[in-house]
Amino acid sequence: MFARLALPLAMLLGACANAHTGDTDPVPSAHSEPQVPEERFVDACEKWDEWDKPARPFRLMGNSWYVGTCGISAILVAGDEGHILLDSGVEAAAPQVLASIRSLGFEPSDIRYILMSHEHFDHVAGHAGIAEATGAKIVASERAAPVLESGKVASDDPQANSGHPDMIPVEVSRIVADGDVVELGNLRITAHTTPGHTPGALSWTWWSCTPPDQPPVCSRMAYVDSLSAVSADDYRYTDHPETVGAFRTSIDKARFLPCDILTTPHPSSSNMIDRWREGTYGKPGECQRYADALSKRLDERLAKEAAQ
């Protein structure tokens, strides 16, 4: 069953406003295995929660849904000719992501594309299981594709020597560059290369609108990569000025993305839980504030290295 939530592209490009909906009640499904938690995401999950801890899915806005775990995001964008999934989580979370999608009334077999944020096992190790279950094609950046197809972290990744486990290799069906658009029926999701945290990292933007039975309000959705200066113990960013330069460029790019509603690969990176509880989800300037925080953390990391 394809989604009926997404509006025609012409409406998506119409007048839009900052808006959001709270956790909504998923449609129960007798086919959901494992079981989806009954407790709301904001009540069951905590900051920096476990990566495979089951979470109740909820609507972000219109045809965009959070279907990830408490600790790792996965975003379903539902369309009239199939659906697009952004990230899959750790390998053990793949069945839970599929169950969450079913619980919302969508068929996983209608997922046509699986996109990625960055090529670490906590965000893409579930690709293999979800692709096998759905037949979806995998989309990646040029730098990330060899990692997904080999299952091994890149040698120039700042976390290359931090003990990341190997992943089940997957075939990448499409390579995207900066500004490329993944189209599917009424869906158009734009890729933005944002290297730094990993060499092949991507961020994504798209429009999402209220369901047809509600007044038309649209929001610019942004799924912005982690962009955190985390590395193996023996890695010094000050020894890699090209990586620092990539970080700066990516952070500046994130600052000016079309962004009414911000989501991130780690929900806690953008304080998702707190923002839902406070009712500030969708507050203007989310990407700018996120970029400011990222820039501050990068400066702190560089200053710490310089002092050593």
Sheet holding 202-209, edge to edge: 181-184, 187-193, 202-209, 218-223, 261-263
The yes-or-no verdict on residue 82 having pLDDT over 80 is yes
Count of CA atoms in the C-beta half-sphere (13 A) of 290: 36
Residue 214: per-residue pLDDT: 84
Mean pLDDT of 266-275: 93
Residues 261 and 282: their CA atoms lie apart, in Å, by 5
The yes-or-no verdict on residue 9 having pLDDT over 50 is no
Split at pLDDT 50, 70, 90, the class of 211 is confident
Residue 299: per-residue pLDDT: 98
Q: What is the pLDDT of residues 59-69, one digit of tens each?
A: 999 999 999 99
The yes-or-no verdict on residue 256 having pLDDT over 50 is yes
Mean pLDDT across the chain: 90
The yes-or-no verdict on residue 228 having pLDDT over 60 is yes
Split at pLDDT 50, 70, 90, the class of 14 is very low
Cα end-to-end span (Å), the chain: 58
The yes-or-no verdict on residue 72 having pLDDT over 80 is yes
Residue 215: per-residue pLDDT: 86
The yes-or-no verdict on residue 7 having pLDDT over 50 is no
Sheet holding 75-79, edge to edge: 58-61, 64-66, 75-79, 82-86, 111-115, 137-141, 172-176
Residues 57 and 38: their CA atoms lie apart, in Å, by 10
The yes-or-no verdict on residue 11 having pLDDT over 70 is no
Mean pLDDT of 156-182: 97
The yes-or-no verdict on residue 114 having pLDDT over 60 is yes
The yes-or-no verdict on residue 129 having pLDDT over 70 is yes
Residue 213: per-residue pLDDT: 84
b/e string for 242-275 if b means 16 or more Cβ within 10 A?
ebbebbeebbebbbebebbbbbbbbbbbbbbbeb
Residues 199 and 204: their CA atoms lie apart, in Å, by 16
Mean pLDDT of 211-237: 93
Angle, vertex CA 130, rays to CA 126 and CA 135, nearest 5: 145
Mean pLDDT of 247-274: 96
Residue 32: per-residue pLDDT: 40
Residue 300: per-residue pLDDT: 97
Global confidence as pTM:
0.89
The yes-or-no verdict on residue 30 having pLDDT over 70 is no
Position 259: which residue type?
C
Split at pLDDT 50, 70, 90, the class of 8 is very low
Burial of 137 (0-12, 13-18, 19+ CB in 10 A): middle
Nearest partner of 70 among 87, 57, 53, judged by Cα: 53
The yes-or-no verdict on residue 46 having pLDDT over 80 is yes
Residue 260: per-residue pLDDT: 96
Judge whether 276 and 256 are in contact, CB under 8 Å. no
Mean pLDDT of 66-82: 97
The yes-or-no verdict on residue 21 having pLDDT over 70 is no
Mean pLDDT of 133-160: 98
Residue 49: per-residue pLDDT: 94
Mean pLDDT of 94-112: 97
The yes-or-no verdict on residue 212 having pLDDT over 90 is no
Residues 209 and 16: their CA atoms lie apart, in Å, by 8
The yes-or-no verdict on residue 185 having pLDDT over 90 is yes
Judge whether 123 and 182 are in contact, CB under 8 Å. no
